[in-house]
Amino acid sequence: MKLTAYYLGVLVGYMMSCNRVPNPEILEFIPGVYVHSDNLDSATGNDTLFVTFQENNRYAVVKRTGFRRAKGNVKTRKLFKVERWTGIYDVRTGMLNLSENGKVITFLLNEKKLLLGQTPYLKIR
């Protein structure tokens, strides 16, 4: 009987370790507004990410991009683009997996940033 209780305890411990509890600080950090800017020779651009909680581990992400191409010393008119994605937060990896494009968002809590792929975004709100 004692042996059965021991194995039951080991099994419950193993199952709890597989379903990690999310860090509440990360869950509070994720929703917000993040920005990224590029100033290249051929173009300048700004991206803004709006991340909002929906339900369970699901988040809505809206990416607004404004960019202006440069032809020589002349800059073209500013162009805009909006993309909408849905992401599932994976507690085990600490990443937000975007279902529409396969991209991954990593959150850097200590630096108040996120990485969309390799591109850093600074949290402003």
- CATH 2.40.128, domain 23-123, yes or no: yes
Q: Which long-range contacts (CB under 8 A, 24 or more apart) does 105-110 make?
A: 105/51, 105/61, 107/26, 107/29, 107/30, 109/25, 109/26, 109/29
CA 51/CA 35 separation, integer angstroms: 11
Mean confidence (pLDDT) of the chain: 85
Q: Give pTM, 2 decimals.
A: 0.78
Q: Any idea where the domains of the chain sit in the sequence?
A: 23-123
Residues 14-48 have pLDDT tens digits of: 444 445 566 888 899 999 999 999 888 788 899 99
Q: What pLDDT was estimated at residue 4?
A: 55
The average pLDDT across 7-12 equals 47
3-state secondary structure of 3: helix
The average pLDDT across 69-78 equals 82
Q: What pLDDT was estimated at residue 40?
A: 81
